[in-house]
Amino acid sequence: MAGLEQRVIGRTGVGVTFLGFGALEIGRDWGLGSGESLLRPDDEAAGQVLNTVLDVGITLIDTAAAYHRSEERIGRSVADRRGEFVLATKCGEHSQEPDTYYDFSYAGITASIDRSLQLLRTDVIDILQIHFGPDPEEVLDRGETVGAMKAAQGAGKVRFLGASIDDELATRCIQSGDFDVMQLGYNLLRQENAANIDLAAEHGIGVFIRTGLGNGLLTERVLPLLDAVPEGATIKRLLDLVDGDPAGLTALGMAFLHANPGITSVLLGTKRVAHVRDNLALLDALPRYEALLPQAQAIVAG
């Protein structure tokens, strides 16, 4: 099964499954649509999702301090299974429900790391990533954030460092030598980070993909919105390519990512147990959809 395929995180030598779990929706109201569809689950339902993720064999969980209840729920629900997964979180953007705030100072990052360790109920964070805000260039120029992360790494609180950023600043992060992992936005509809994925591979840096399904645009959730989103016409043509099957649209998006050897893991998030199993099952059909990728690429190119 492709979802359980192991890929190595660059020079770290650590393996994770191609399909990873993005833990945003289990802790923070989020998603495509409106009303109740955006609400996070309760504690019990979140725990069921997390345990299902591990039960099906996914070995990467990615969260963030800014995901409100996410770190707490991971600690509460699967800390006793800590040896079964690689744990990634982020610092810089902090939770202050119902909002978040940014603090990239040395002291702020140090306190955030300690709080994350406490909430996650773990002695070490496998991958700590910068969760950039409105002025990422200043964060890199000042250096306090990276300095605090390296200090935590030296103290044994963190194993590897990463950054979640796109475009020119992602290139800068890759070339800096400071990071072992890059988290990049990339999907069939938005491919601007293609060169950064290649560059990361050249530097021995792992790549985690966020927005791999276009924040829901490559799932059945887009169907009521096809005439409202800018990508609607393109998505309609992609749907025609897969005989109108929304599950096929999702599989096509996954196939696009799976075909890139520079991608270590794709972070797919959900708040429902059924979606975890559905995403895994779709990956069995990847060879069929990979054969459609040249046509899909032509559609996206316009």
Q: Which residue has the higher pLDDT, 278 or 37?
A: 278
Q: Which residue reads 């032509």 in tokens?
A: 298
Q: pTM to 2 decimals?
A: 0.95
Handedness of CA 53, 4, 164, 37 (dihedral sign): negative
With respect to residue 279, please indicate whether it lies within any of the assigned structural domains.
Answer: yes
The confidence score (pLDDT) of residue 93 equals: 97
What pLDDT is recorded for position 66?
97
In a domain, 237, yes or no: no
Assigned domain for 275 exists: yes
Q: What is the pLDDT of residues 216-261, one digit of tens each?
A: 999 999 999 999 999 999 999 999 999 999 999 999 999 999 999 9
Task: Give backbone dihedrals phi and psi of 18, rounded to 5 degrees, phi first.
Answer: -55, -40
Amino acid at the residue 186: Y
44 assigned to some structural domain = yes
Amino acid, res. 266: V
Residue 134 domain-assigned (yes or no): yes
Task: Kindly state whether residue 235 falls inside one of the protein's structural domains.
Answer: no
- Percent of the chain at pLDDT above 70? 96
Strand 19-22 versus strand 15-17 pairing type: unpaired
Asked if the structure places residue 232 within a domain, the reply is no
User: Sorting pLDDT into bands at 50, 70 and 90, what band is 142?
Assistant: very high
Chain segment 41-67, per-residue pLDDT in tens? 999 999 999 999 999 999 999 999 999
Kindly state the tokens that stand for 204.
Answer: 């021995």
Q: Which residue has the higher pLDDT, 145 or 33?
A: 145
CATH number, domain of 21, equals 3.20.20.100
Reported as type and span, the H/E element at residue 158 is: strand 158-164
Domain holding 179, by residue range, is 2-216+260-285
- Is 291 within the bounds of a domain? no
- pLDDT at position 39 is 84
Q: How many domains does the chain have?
A: 1
